[in-house]
Amino acid sequence: MRFLGLGLAYLVGAIPVGVIVARLAGGVDLRRSGSGNIGATNVLRTHGKLPAVATLLGDIAKGYLSVSVARALVPARWGAAAGAVLAIIGNCWPVFLRFRGGKGVATGFGAFLALAPLATAPTVLVWLAVTLSFRYVSLASIMACVCLPVGVALLGYPREAIGAAVAAAIIIVVRHRENLRRLAKGSEARLGERARPA
């Protein structure tokens, strides 16, 4: 049951919500549009607000579901924590898209909404503050995920959850390495601007 639970956590996380929404919205392959990313920000830039909201909610939901499945099938305390990490791994490296996926932010939020719900509130505030101040979604996402392990630790969640938060932060920062390079060069697209082609 452990392998089944962990495998399902990954597979749920790997569901390419953005690609599915984009195809339903306009029949366009999201990986060949805008920045080429399959997340809600690229859906917003290429398809508009409603598809972007659908993608965001879908990615959050699959993160939450991944942890719920892992918790149910792997009752040990580490099971839910592993499910959170596997949900993010699935989103970033989905088997359904030849392991070329998103950046794990919304899926990670959904996963920790299930694993450490109180710790997600500060990350949302950080994300909103950075986005509204600088209009860089990538920078806001990086700052929020870096703050996540701190919140999980300070709020007294178990070490398994802290370890999962650290792993999540590392994965998400690594997935944003190109954004970090563009931010350093001053060429990163702000929210509302057209993204550079992938």
**What confidence tens digit (pLDDT) does each residue in 48-94 have?**
999 999 999 999 999 999 999 999 999 998 999 999 999 999 999 99
Is 122 among the domain residues?
yes
pLDDT at 196: 55
pLDDT at 195: 62
pLDDT at 101: 96
**Integer Cα distance of 47 and 61 in angstroms:** 21
**Integer Cα distance of 194 and 191 in angstroms:** 8
Q: What is the mean pLDDT of residues 89-107?
A: 97
Is 48 among the domain residues?
yes
**Integer Cα distance of 108 and 75 in angstroms:** 21
Quote the number of domains for the chain: 1
**Integer Cα distance of 20 and 63 in angstroms:** 16
User: Could you tell me if 170 and 103 are in contact, meaning their C-beta atoms sit under 8 angstroms apart?
Assistant: no
List the domain range (segments joined by +) for residue 128.
Answer: 2-185
pLDDT at 1: 82
**pLDDT band with cut points at 50, 70 and 90 for residue 142:** very high
Q: H helices then E strands: how many in the chain?
A: 10, 0
Contacts of 126 (CB under 8 A, 6+ apart): 140, 143, 144, 147
Q: Above pLDDT 90, what percent of the chain? A: 88
- Angle between helix 49-73 and 77-92 (nearest 10): 150
**Integer Cα distance of 98 and 20 in angstroms:** 15
Is 197 among the domain residues?
no
Compute φ and ψ for 170, nearest 5 degrees.
Answer: -65, -50
Is 192 among the domain residues?
no
pLDDT tens for each residue of 18-45: 999 999 998 788 898 888 899 999 999 8
Return the biggest CA–CA distance within the chain: 49
User: Could you tell me if 84 and 77 are in contact, meaning their C-beta atoms sit under 8 angstroms apart?
Assistant: no
pLDDT at 198: 46
Is 139 among the domain residues?
yes
Shortest CA distance to 96 belongs to which of 172, 20, 5, 2? Answer: 20
**pLDDT band with cut points at 50, 70 and 90 for residue 6:** very high
Is 31 among the domain residues?
yes
Is 168 among the domain residues?
yes
**Integer Cα distance of 22 and 34 in angstroms:** 12
Is 10 among the domain residues?
yes
pLDDT score of 197 more than 60: no
